[in-house]
């Protein structure tokens, strides 16, 4: 009977490990306007752009910490301003240290946009950010070749329709090494979702213990486009812990006998 019980415990342990490690692959069809996920890919860091001061910069020079990348064009009559407003509100509400823990890079995908336009646009969305930290929200314009290369690298699909563009809305998180770690779609972002995405982007860096616990206990839900409590992972961990305790107690009691 004892051997049967031990065998059942072993099977339970194996099953729990499988629950924790199981991941459902997600694929997306290539579309003309929208997002095509490139999670895990590294963006081309040597592409050149112009910042608000009209200086030529590369993404490699700018990205030295977890970075939120978003795409807009400055004459957009629709999604772009609400997106920038949503990012501004998320920066204000999240408890991550903007400028230290992460930064934001906004890239215009309209080749007619200029650094002067970028400077004016930036002023509208940094009202709630201190002057010292405003430098960590960087607005970039560039030439067509480089704009299309970075857009293709992150899977941002847009199409010109007359004087305007059809395009999706959302943000991309990249690591300090330029690796794409998360997409968050839409116009507004929950502070917790943004915090979790930044924590994920910090991989390879020293992270506070609480951040590691949060990352373990919560999973990104691509359907709901947010973070949810990982019930299966937590349950599996509890089962493993209980099984180990029972298994050790059986060994100790057997030795005593």
| Judgement on whether residues 13 and 101 belong to the same structural domain of the protein | no
| Judgement on whether residues 127 and 39 belong to the same structural domain of the protein | yes
Using alpha carbons, list the distances in angstroms from residue 109 to 1, 75, 145, 255.
Answer: 69, 11, 10, 71
Question: Does 243 map to a domain?
Answer: yes
What span, in angstroms and rounded, lies between the C-alpha atoms of 62 and 47?
A: 11
The 10s digit of each residue's pLDDT in 112-170 is 999 999 999 998 888 778 778 889 999 999 999 999 999 999 999 999 998 899 999 99
Number of domains in the chain: 2
Q: What is the torsional sign of CA 89, 95, 97, 102?
A: negative
Angle between helices 191-201 and 209-217 (to 10 degrees): 110
| Judgement on whether residues 163 and 248 belong to the same structural domain of the protein | no
| Judgement on whether residues 241 and 126 belong to the same structural domain of the protein | no
Range of the domain at 137: 34-206
**Which alpha helices (DSSP H) does 110-190 contain, by range?**
115-124, 131-134, 144-154
Which pTM does this prediction carry?
Answer: 0.70
Question: Does 219 map to a domain?
Answer: no
More confident: 177 or 17: 177
How many Cβ atoms sit within 10 Å of the Cβ of residue 147? Answer: 23
Question: Does 13 map to a domain?
Answer: yes
| Judgement on whether residues 114 and 200 belong to the same structural domain of the protein | yes
| Judgement on whether residues 177 and 248 belong to the same structural domain of the protein | no
Question: Does 223 map to a domain?
Answer: no
Question: Does 252 map to a domain?
Answer: yes
Question: Does 227 map to a domain?
Answer: no
Residue 225 in tokens: 């486009």
Tell me which of 17-26, 35-44, 105-114, 236-245 is least confident: 17-26
Q: In terms of Cα–Cα distance, which of 50, 43, 35, 25 is closest to 176?
A: 43
| Judgement on whether residues 56 and 147 belong to the same structural domain of the protein | yes
Q: For 208, phi and psi rounded to 5 degrees?
A: -60, 150
The 10s digit of each residue's pLDDT in 154-201 is 999 999 998 899 999 999 999 999 999 999 999 999 998 899 899 989
- Please provide the distance, in angstroms rounded to a whole number, between the alpha carbons at the two ends of the chain: 16
Question: Does 127 map to a domain?
Answer: yes
CATH number at residue 134: 3.40.30.10
């Amino acid at each position: 009977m004892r051997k049967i019980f031990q065998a059942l415990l072993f099977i339970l342990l194996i099953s729990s490990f499988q629950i924790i490690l199981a991941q459902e692959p997600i694929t997306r069809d290539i579309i003309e306007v929208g997002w095509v996920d490139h999670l895990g890919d590294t963006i081309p860091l040597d592409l050149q752009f112009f910042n608000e001061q009209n200086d030529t910069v590369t993404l490699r020079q700018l990205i030295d910490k977890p970075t939120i990348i978003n795409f807009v064009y400055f004459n957009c009559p629709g999604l772009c301003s609400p997106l920038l407003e949503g990012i501004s509100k998320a920066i204000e509400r999240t408890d991550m240290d903007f400028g230290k823990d992460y930064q934001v890079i906004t890239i215009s995908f309209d080749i007619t946009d200029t650094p002067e336009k970028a400077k004016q646009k930036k002023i509208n969305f940094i009202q709630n950010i201190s002057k010292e930290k405003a430098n960590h929200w960087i607005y970039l314009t560039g030439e067509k070749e480089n704009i299309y290369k970075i857009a293709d690298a992150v899977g941002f699909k847009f199409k010109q329709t007359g004087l305007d563009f059809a395009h999706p809305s959302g943000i991309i998180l990249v690591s300090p090494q330029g690796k794409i770690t998360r997409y968050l779609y839409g116009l507004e972002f929950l502070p917790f979702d943004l915090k979790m995405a930044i924590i994920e982007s910090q991989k390879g860096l020293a992270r506070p213990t609480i951040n590691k616990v949060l990352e373990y206990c919560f999973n990104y839900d691509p359907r709901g486009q947010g973070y949810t409590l990982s019930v299966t992972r937590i349950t599996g961990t509890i089962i493993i812990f209980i099984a180990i305790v029972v298994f050790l107690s059986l060994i100790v009691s057997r030795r005593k006998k």
